[in-house]
Amino acid sequence: MPRPKKERTVYQPPLYADFKPQGVQRRELACIDLELDEFEAIRLADYLEMDHAEAAIEMGISRSTFTRLVERSRKKMAQFLIEGRHLHIGGGNIHFHGNVIRCRTCGHMFNIGFDKDLQTCPACGSSDLIDLAGGFGHGRCCREHGHRHRR
């Protein structure tokens, strides 16, 4: 029996979670699921150009595990680009370090910690806010996870 996957830390939820080729309806496309830890591996290694050892520490995993995540993520990204599939980001055994809130009224997006409770947009005062971590089923678990791992 394989041992359970270790929880991984993802900095914050992605701003966008679904991508597809233009001009093709989603129902006509095969879907590739990119897990949130795979998304984070691509963000750290390719977007931020972090060293694998440093990025592994950031995610709370070993360097070899991080390297495997990057390789798996790159394979999925290549399939998405070459084969023209629908890419969905979500799932995985993760906790977010921080959150992003988007205002539906003015479109303003801002980073926020899980220790803060925001009711209105600081840009326009609207209360029509989207909690991006909540959209992935996270929030309370990430807040509790963060309290357990504070130094």
pLDDT tens per residue across span 1-43: 676 777 899 999 999 999 999 999 999 999 999 999 999 999 9
Sign, CA dihedral 127-129-131-134, equals positive
User: What number is the average pLDDT over the span 53-82?
Assistant: 96
Residue 151 has pLDDT above 70, yes or no: no
In this chain, the answer to whether the domains covering 17-94 and 96-148 adopt an identical fold is no
Token readout for 40 is 């984070």
Q: Confidence class of residue 140 from pLDDT cuts 50, 70 and 90?
A: low
92, 124 Cβ separation under 8 angstroms: no
In the chain, the percentage of residues whose pLDDT exceeds 90 is 66
Contact 59, 94 (CB under 8 A): no
Class of domain 96-148: mainly beta
State pTM to two decimals. 0.84
Give all strands (DSSP E) within the chain, no chain letters: 8-10, 18-19, 31-34, 86-89, 94-96, 99-103, 109-112, 129-131
pLDDT band at 45, cuts 50/70/90? very high
Tokens coding 8: 């991984």
Domain boundaries, the chain: 17-94, 96-148
Q: In terms of pLDDT, which residue wins out, 26 or 144? A: 26
Q: Which CATH architecture has domain 17-94?
A: Orthogonal Bundle (1.10)
Give me the mean pLDDT over the 116-125 stretch. 88
* Predicted local confidence at residue 115, as pLDDT: 78
Q: How much is the pLDDT for 143?
A: 67
